Structure 1
Amino acid sequence: MNGRHEEGFRPGTTSVCGLTDDGHTCCLIMNSIGDGLFMVGRDRRIEGFFNHAAERLTGFRIQEALGRTCYDVLRSDLCQTQCPLDLVFQTGEGVRDRPARIVTRDHREVPVCISVSPIKDDQGRVVAAVEVVRDCSVEEDLRKVLHDSYHFGEVVSKNPLMQEILELLPVVAESPSTVLIQGESGTGKSMLARIIHQLSPRRDGPFVKLNCGTIPDPLLESELFGYRKGAFTDAKKDKPGRLQSAEGGTLFLDEVQCMSGALQVKLLRFLEERVFVPLGTTEPESADVRIVAASNVDLERKVEDGTFRADLFYRLNVIGIRLPTLAERREDIPLLARHMLKKYNAVCGKNIREISEHALSLLMNYDFPGNVRELENIIEHACVLCSGPIIEVKHLPMDVVGKVRTRRRENPDASPLASSEERTIRWVLRKVDGNRVEAARELGISRATLWRKMKRYGIS
């Protein structure tokens, strides 16, 4: 090595790592590694070696790095509170792939993964540690691309059915037509309605929401259409309804199935003629408002059983959107859970980094009767209870854990992931008109694999 420090190794200084002046081969091996590699003593100072990748990653040359404390060189966000080196020196166990961010010499922030392995003497005491720092910039850029692919406003999904809905939203939003969103409670109908408004030409106007299921029917009409002074005993002055408040914007009618038959007739008149009559007057008024309605029950069945007007249903359902349940989009559960974890880290002032595989597996096998809203409640519950960096099963609500374990005992062969896979394959095959070559390419699997899966699920 001719005594040169540029090779990433200070000759003759480190008996711990086994390198001496003739350690040229070892030095070449270390410098051929693409990840930053260096050794740290118990005093937290870098000693012995500091390879080329570490120089490139941190911006410090070996002459500058050797002898300095590792936190002076890495300047990681883990250094002061969750230092992996401290853990290794205290426990004698290695640390693998701990995500962090370092600040380089030229003040750039770089996402990395840090692994630390202990070096022990003959008595088993940790005398030093080898630290490996991997640049994760490419992975983070890829995650951002995937994030953009799976996020549409506040909606997070990679499910084919949801992706189909999200692709249509800009077209739906640009249209002036009435929209009916149907789906179980907690599937995100209100959020979708707001996105339609935000993408529409009415985005600068108000977005007004009226939940028809929370207001008694006698009051719902006055809440929707407003009233004039003297319309009833306590009507001391005129009050505009939600229709007037939404002028130039969007009125979102949630749980529209709760409207009485008489009120359905009045809403139908507004949709047909764009006029309404406030309580306490006979003079019709007009409003420039787009209606987006939602129902957590199947309105077609309501029409069939005579509790919802067919003509109003068709007026509302000019553009119909049906949101799948969370059980129908299980592949979104990890994506949604991690998205919510970021939110509740901020709300709860926590620094929880991940959800354990065991906990995530349990969530994947839960039925979620409350859909996305229930998942959010579960993640909030877990964040409140979790005091460490990882959410474990013990942090999940006990009733959720109990239901999944009971289900597994009663039906150990049940696999919700299989049903999700079957739905995805069927959807892709419909999309490509049954072309198996195109379907396999779309799914990212071989034709033979696709054929085996189709046979397993009885798909012809």
Structure 2
Amino acid sequence: MKDKNYYSEPDIAHGLQSGTQAILESISDGVFTVDRSWKITSFNRAAEEITGILRKEALGRQCCEVFRSSMCETGCALEKTMGTGRPIINRSGFIINAQGSRIPISVSTAVLRDENGKIIGGAETFRDLSEVEGLRKELEGKFRMGDLVSRSPLMEAIFEIMPAVAESPSTVLILGETGTGKELLARTIHSLSPRADEPFVAVNCGALPDTLLESELFGYKSGAFTGAVKDKPGRFSLVGKGTIFLDEMGEISPAMQVRLLRVLQEKTFEPLGSVKPERLEARIIAATNRDMEKLVEDKVFRQDLYYRINVVRVEIPPLRKRKEDIALLVDNFIQKFNRIQNRKVPGMDVQALSLLMAHDWPGNIRELENAVERAFILCADSEITIKHLPPEIIGMDRLSVGTDIKMARQNIEARAIYDAIERNNFNRQAAARELGIHKSTLFRKIKELNITLPEQDGRSRQQS
């Protein structure tokens, strides 16, 4: 009696035995077999559906012509299995189906032997991971939008409006402290917009004196001033139909404010030395770390220009108000530095992360990234620990005093509780529900951690 685990050469040539074939036809994984010449000898129903290639078109052809996989040319799983006799389980990759779409898959391979144990072919099963990949992206999308990552409720509110903001052609004003990622947010808006294929041009208005800023933005014509021997297009011209990001808008002079107001009102600009206006087709995104309303009140910034740039307003919260993002950001930075420097730093230990969570981050995300990069340089390829963090983060006394870790964790807990209470308008009961603890537990924690809160409960104010 033939061993059920073996197939003879005629079996492969004429398809699998009817019982086995019935089973293979009923499963959702694609399965195909090849002979020693790499010609496909069987091809089940799921393989047809996933690849988009009919069985009659696949049989007898070289497997690489049918199963167009990312592994075919460099590291074919089935070739390795046929060479070693050892199976490969769940190797990830992708195929290109008959419609030209990229399909993520996982592959498993095994050899086929005859009654004498001789390898006469191979079998490969592959699973369509499109749905899994879609769920992964959906989950990731809750924490990521473009290059922005966050799980903070404050940032979630920004994520919710981002698609609508990106779709609109209106001017956007981004407010936030230094280092919060205003340019990154502007780039994300651009990448999500219909202008994504057009240029994104950033100009730091606070870094240039008026004369240079004017020529940088508007450009100039030959002969406009001494030394202008040929035309030079400005950023408004070079950006075309893309997006121009004007950073540090609160720093520009009153004279430049007048010129920018005209650009926003008329949607035209004139290069220096020109008498013919040019059409502005770009979208403008402005940003500042200044209190614009205070600048307007103090008559430092023109009110009419403020109204022109403040069509859609987005405020990025400082890192100290979204500390739940620190672990996510640290992981993101470590992955980034691993890619750039071709290293394999596994991550950061809990104690080091606790100290990062306890820090107030006056420099925001930029300061955090610098701290992680410094630690990344010092840690070789080991896990980042307290000793790798900058002295201003750990405090020199904390290197030898273990109790400071406990203090850091208490600071984290106190900050999380205070932030939850503040988000709920100082309503303790609502904050307890958000934190998933009983109200009495919250009151005990407030007392233990010496958290100072307004005397009146938020619920009381709402009722009064």
Bin for the TM-score computed over the shorter chain: 0.5 to 0.7
Judge conservation of contact 1:228–1:281 (CA < 8 Å) in 2: yes
> Which residue, out of 208, 225, 234, partners 2:218?
225
Q: TM-score by structure 2 length?
A: 0.63
CA drift at 1:323: 0.9
Judge conservation of contact 2:146–2:191 (CA < 8 Å) in 1: no
Q: 1:235 to 1:245 in 2, by over 3 A?
A: same
Judge conservation of contact 2:180–2:316 (CA < 8 Å) in 1: yes
> Which residue, out of 83, 107, 116, partners 2:89?
107
- In 1, the alpha carbon distance for the partners of 2:365 and 2:441 equals 32
The alignment's C-alpha RMSD in Å is 3.4
Judge conservation of contact 1:365–1:404 (CA < 8 Å) in 2: no
- In 2, the alpha carbon distance for the partners of 1:399 and 1:339 equals 22
Judge conservation of contact 2:420–2:434 (CA < 8 Å) in 1: no
**Which letter does structure 1 place at the counterpart of 2:222?**
K
**Which letter does structure 1 place at the counterpart of 2:418?**
E
- In 2, the alpha carbon distance for the partners of 1:108 and 1:143 equals 17
> Which residue, out of 162, 170, 194, partners 2:163?
170
> Which residue, out of 336, 351, 363, partners 1:343?
336
> Which residue, out of 338, 350, 355, partners 2:348?
355
CA drift at 1:337: 0.6
CA drift at 1:454: 8.7
Q: Secondary structure at the match of 1:355?
A: coil
> Which residue, out of 140, 155, 168, partners 2:148?
155
Judge conservation of contact 2:180–2:318 (CA < 8 Å) in 1: yes
Q: 1:318 to 1:205 in 2, by over 3 A?
A: same
Aligned twin of 1:370: 363
Deviations 1:223-273 (A, max 9, x none): 111111101111111111111112211110011112111110111111111
Aligned twin of 1:121: none
CA drift at 1:146: 4.8
Aligned twin of 2:122: none
- Pair 1:427-2:434 in alignment: no
> Which residue, out of 403, 410, 415, partners 2:411?
415
> Which residue, out of 279, 289, 308, partners 2:301?
308
- In 2, the alpha carbon distance for the partners of 1:297 and 1:348 equals 36
- In 2, the alpha carbon distance for the partners of 1:362 and 1:351 equals 23
> Which residue, out of 209, 221, 242, partners 2:202?
209
Q: 1:373 to 1:424 in 2, by over 3 A?
A: same
- In 2, the alpha carbon distance for the partners of 1:203 and 1:258 equals 28
Aligned twin of 2:114: none
- In 1, the alpha carbon distance for the partners of 2:343 and 2:420 equals 36
Aligned twin of 2:383: 390
Q: Secondary structure at the match of 1:415?
A: helix
Q: 1:352 to 1:265 in 2, by over 3 A?
A: same
Matched residues, number: 325
Deviations 1:285-327 (A, max 9, x none): 2211111000021112221222211111111111111111111
Judge conservation of contact 2:375–2:384 (CA < 8 Å) in 1: yes
CA drift at 1:329: 1.0
CA drift at 1:190: 0.3
**Which letter does structure 1 place at the counterpart of 2:419?**
R
Q: Secondary structure at the match of 2:287?
A: strand
- In 2, the alpha carbon distance for the partners of 1:403 and 1:314 equals 49
CA drift at 1:281: 2.0
Judge conservation of contact 1:187–1:326 (CA < 8 Å) in 2: yes
Deviations 1:93-126 (A, max 9, x none): xxxxxxxxxxx9433149xxxxxxxxxxxxxxxx
Equivalences for 1:445-460 in 2 at 5 Å? 445-446=437-438, 457-458=453-454, 459-460=457-458
Aligned twin of 1:255: 248
CA drift at 1:355: 0.8
Q: TM-score by structure 1 length?
A: 0.63
Q: Secondary structure at the match of 2:174?
A: strand
- In 1, the alpha carbon distance for the partners of 2:208 and 2:424 equals 43
Equivalences for 1:2-401 in 2 at 5 Å? 105-109=87-91, 146-401=139-394
Judge conservation of contact 2:175–2:316 (CA < 8 Å) in 1: yes
CA drift at 1:155: 0.9
Q: Which structure 2 residue ranges, 5 or more long, are not aligned?
A: 1-85, 93-132, 459-464
Judge conservation of contact 1:249–1:289 (CA < 8 Å) in 2: yes
Q: Secondary structure at the match of 1:391?
A: coil
**Which letter does structure 1 place at the counterpart of 2:345?**
I
Aligned twin of 1:31: none
- In 1, the alpha carbon distance for the partners of 2:200 and 2:134 equals 35
**Which letter does structure 2 place at the counterpart of 1:314?**
Y
Give the percent of matched residue pairs that are identical in Structure 1 and Structure 2: 49
CA drift at 1:376: 0.9
CA drift at 1:144: 7.0
Q: Secondary structure at the match of 1:107?
A: strand
Judge conservation of contact 2:175–2:289 (CA < 8 Å) in 1: yes
**Which letter does structure 1 place at the counterpart of 2:251?**
C
**Which letter does structure 2 place at the counterpart of 1:106?**
I
CA drift at 1:435: 11
CA drift at 1:426: 3.5
CA drift at 1:441: 5.8
Q: Secondary structure at the match of 2:246?
A: strand
CA drift at 1:399: 2.8
Judge conservation of contact 1:160–1:427 (CA < 8 Å) in 2: no
Q: 1:302 to 1:199 in 2, by over 3 A?
A: same
CA drift at 1:147: 3.5
Q: Secondary structure at the match of 1:166?
A: helix
